[in-house]
Amino acid sequence: MSRLTRLLRILVVGLRFGLYELMPAAGLVGTVARRLAQIAGAVLRADTRSARGVRLRCALETLGPIFVKFGQVLSTRRDLLPQDIADELAKLQDQVPPFPSEAAVAEIERSLGQKVEELFWSFERDPVASASIAQVHLGKLADGREAAIKVLRPGVERAVARDLMLLETAAGLVERLWADGRRLKPREVVAEFARHLDEELDLMREAANASQLRRNFDGSALLRVPEMYWAWCTPRVMVMERMVGTPVSQVERLRARGVDIPALARAGVEIFFTQVFRDGFFHADMHPGNILVDDEGRYVALDFGIMGALTEVDKNYLAQNFIAFFNRDYQRVAQAHLEAGWVPPETRIDEFEAAIRAVCEPIFARPLKEIYFGKLLLRLFQTSRRFNVEIQPQLVMLQKTLLNIEGLGRQLDPDLDLWTTAKPYLERWMSEQVGWRGLLKSLKREAPYWATTLPQIPRLAYRLLAEDRLGAVEAQLARLAEIGRRRNRLLAFLIGLLAALAVALLLR
Report the chain's C-alpha Rg in angstroms: 27
In this structure, which long-range contacts are made by residues 317-321, counting pairs with CB atoms below 8 Å and at least 24 apart in sequence?
Answer: 318/276, 318/277, 318/395, 318/398, 319/277, 319/426, 319/429, 319/430, 319/433, 320/430
Q: Are 47 and 17 contacting, i.e. CB atoms less than 8 angstroms apart? A: yes
Q: DSSP assignment of 182-225, as one string?
A: HHH-HHHHHHHHHHHHHHHT-HHHHHHHHHHHHHHTTT-SSEE-
The DSSP bridge partners found for residue 95 are 130
Rounded distance between C-alpha atoms, residue 134 and residue 123, angstroms = 17
Residue 477, Cβ neighbours under 10 Å: how many?
11
User: Nearest-CA neighbor of 157 among 236, 60, 102?
Assistant: 236
- What's the CA angle centered on 323, arms 319 and 326, to 5 degrees? 140
Alpha helices in 217-260 (DSSP H): 251-256
Amino acid in the structure at residue 313: V
DSSP E strands in 286-362: the ranges are 291-293, 299-301, 307-309
Helix-helix angle 470-506:436-453, to 10 degrees:
140
Residue 144 falls in which region: left (phi positive, over 0), alpha (psi -120 to 50) or beta: left
309 alpha carbon, distance to own chain's centre: 9
Annotation says 285 is catalytic: yes
Catalytic residue among 87, 126, 198, 285: 285
Task: State the CB neighbour count (10 A cutoff) for residue 201.
Answer: 21
CA distances from 114 to 15, 102, 142 (A): 46, 15, 14
Q: Are strands 223-224 and 299-301 parallel, antiparallel or unpaired?
A: parallel
Residues across the chain: 508
Rounded-to-integer distance, Cα 27 and Cα 17, Å? 24
Q: Are 41 and 19 a contacting pair, CB within 8 Å?
A: no
Phi and psi at 275, nearest 5°, equal: -60, -45
* Enzyme catalytic residues: 285
